[in-house]
Amino acid sequence: MSGQKSEWVKKCIGILKVLKNHKHGWVFSEPVDPVKLNIPDYLEIIKKPMDLGTVRTHLDNGTITNPEEFKTNVVLTFDNAMRYNPSNHDVHIMAKTLKEVRTRLVAKLPPVTITIP
């Protein structure tokens, strides 16, 4: 079982590298800092912040336990950006672009299999 886990984790890490290395990836590589970015209402609008760096940390420490959780967290990263920023804002457009890239990449991940003893 751990061999299977390490294989999907490796694939997820590869997907994160592609996303982070994309020309828009830098925007989503670390948590949003509402003070630094002067967006004091960010945490009122975005109830569950997420970024690609945090996703990587969760993969590394085992907080993400399956490919579906990985997909959910990556989508949350981009959905948050699109929710907070208007559709004509650069960050919204970047998030939409990377979400489309993510869709193509995660299609290669194995489906979640539940084994009942």
Here the CATH number for the domain that contains residue 82 is: 1.20.920.10
- The answer to whether residue 12 is domain-embedded is yes
C-alpha closest to that of 15 among 73, 81, 92, 87: 73
At 21 the pLDDT is: 95
- The answer to whether residue 115 is domain-embedded is no
Number of domains the chain contains: 1
How do residues 44-73 score in pLDDT, each as one tens digit?
A: 999 999 999 999 999 999 999 998 999 999
Residue numbers of the domain that contains 52: 2-106
The gap from C-alpha 21 to its chain's centroid, in whole angstroms, comes to: 13
- The answer to whether residue 117 is domain-embedded is no
- The answer to whether residue 26 is domain-embedded is yes
Would you say 103 and 81 are in contact if contact means Cβ atoms under 8 Å apart? no
